[in-house]
Structure 1
Amino acid sequence: MTETRSVVVEREMPHPPEKIWRALTQPHLIAEWLMKNDFAPIVGHRFKLNGDWGGVLDCEVLTIEPNRSLSYSWNFEHEDAAYALRSVVTFTLTPSPGGSHLRVEQVGFRPEQRQAFGGARAGWQQFLAKLDEVVAREG
């Protein structure tokens, strides 16, 4: 089996897990910080994330622990294998003194997928900055 790499981004957020959870699981809020979607918080639900760059990700909800953990597949089909991606994204929320600790891990990058790996590292930083704004506004 091919060895894969992971992108991990962690940040402290000044919001309780319940507030962040809403932004992670409500389609209209996901659209504001991540991408347009037809997400439903149901294990086995298949959904699409529609990137503003024109790409579509095929996803499936894998696990849900309300206010604690959410994971889904994150698959991008492409005729060029270097761009095709089969990965899993996991969000983990842990209460902290100032609100919550959010850990996002995306696993499944093949060694030759340097561009996708680098894009995910930068992309998750931007997505989480937007997530923080959405959660603060939804207050």
Structure 2
Amino acid sequence: MTETRSVVVERDIPHAPEKIWRALTQPHLIAEWLMNNDFVPAVGHRFKLSGDWGGVLDCEVLTVEPNRSLSYTWNFAHDDAAYALQSVVIFTLTPSPKGTHLRMEQVGFRPEQKQAFGGAMAGWRQFLAKLEEVVAREG
């Protein structure tokens, strides 16, 4: 089996897990911080994420534990194997004294996918900063 790498980004957000959960699971809010989508928080639901860059990700919901954990596949098909990606994104919400500790892990980068790994590391930091702005605005 090929060894893979993971991108992990963690943030402490001064809001309750329930507020962050809404931003992780409501399509109109997901569109504000991540991408356009047809997401439904139901295990087995297949959905697409459409990026501003023209790419489309094929996804499937794997786990839904309201206000605690959410995971889904994050698959990008590409003719060049170096750019094709089959991964899983896992969000974990842990209540903290100041709100919620959010941990995002994207698992499945192959060793040769250095550019995709670096892009995901930078991209997730930006996505989660936007997520925090959406949560703060939604109050």
* TM-score of the two chains, using structure 2 as the length reference: 1.00
**Matching residue's letter, 2:59:** C
Written as runs of structure 1 = structure 2, the 5 A alignment for 1:1-139 is 1-139=1-139
> Which SS does the other structure have where 2:12 is aligned?
strand
Residues paired across the two proteins, number: 139
Whole-Å separation in 1 of the counterparts to 2:108 and 2:12: 25
Where has structure 1 moved over 4 Å in runs of 4 or more?
Answer: none
Matched residues, percent identical?
Answer: 86
* TM-score of the two chains, using structure 1 as the length reference: 1.00
**Matching residue's letter, 1:7:** V
Pairwise CA distance, 1:50: 0.1
Pairwise CA distance, 1:123: 0.3
Whole-Å separation in 2 of the counterparts to 1:33 and 1:124: 10
Whole-Å separation in 1 of the counterparts to 2:7 and 2:133: 22
Whole-Å separation in 1 of the counterparts to 2:15 and 2:36: 24
